[in-house]
Structure 1
Amino acid sequence: MRLELVNTGTELCLGDVINTNAAWIGQRMAALGIEVARQTIVPDGGAVKEAIAEAAARSDVVLVSGGLGPTNDDVTRESTADLLGLPLFEDAKARATLEAYFARRNKVPVASNFRQVMVPAGATVLENPMGTAPGLYFPAALGESRGWNCHIFLLPGPPRELKPMVEACLEPRLREWIPDGTSRRVIYLKLTGIGESEIVESVEKDLEKVPGLELGYCIGKGDVDVRLAGQPGPVEQGAEIVRSRLGDFILSEDQRVIEEVVIQRLAERGEWLATAESCTGGFLASRLTDVSGASKVFGHGFVTYANEAKQNHLGVPEDLLAAHGAVSEPVARAMADGCLRVSGSDYALSVTGIAGPTGGTEEKPAGTVFVALASKGQETVVKKLFYPVSRDRFKLLTSQFALDMLRRRLNGLPMP
Structure 2
Amino acid sequence: MGLTAAVAALSLAATLAGCGGVGDSGDVTLKLVAADYGNNDSNTSQKYWDDLARSFEKSHPGITIDVDVMSWKDVDREVAEMVKNGQAPDLAQIGAYADYAAEDRLYKADDLLSIRTQANFLPLLSRAGEVDRVQYGMPFAASTRLLFYNKDLFAKAGATPPKDWKGIREAAEKLKAQGVTYPFALPLGSEESQAETMMWFLSGGGGYRDTADISYEINSTANVSTFKWLKSELVDPGLTGPGTPGELDRQEAFDAFARGDVGMLNGHPTLMETAEKAGVDVGKIPLPGTDGEARATMGVADWMMAFKQNGHREEIGTFLDYVYEDKNVLAFSDKYDILPVTVTAGTAMQGDPKHKDLWPFLAELPTSELYPVGQTSWAKVSESIKKNIGKAVEPGGDPEAVLAGIAQDAKDAEAAE
Q: Same fold (TM over 0.5)?
A: no
Q: TM-score, normalising length from structure 2?
A: 0.23
Richer in strand (by share): 1
Structure with greater Cα Rg: 1
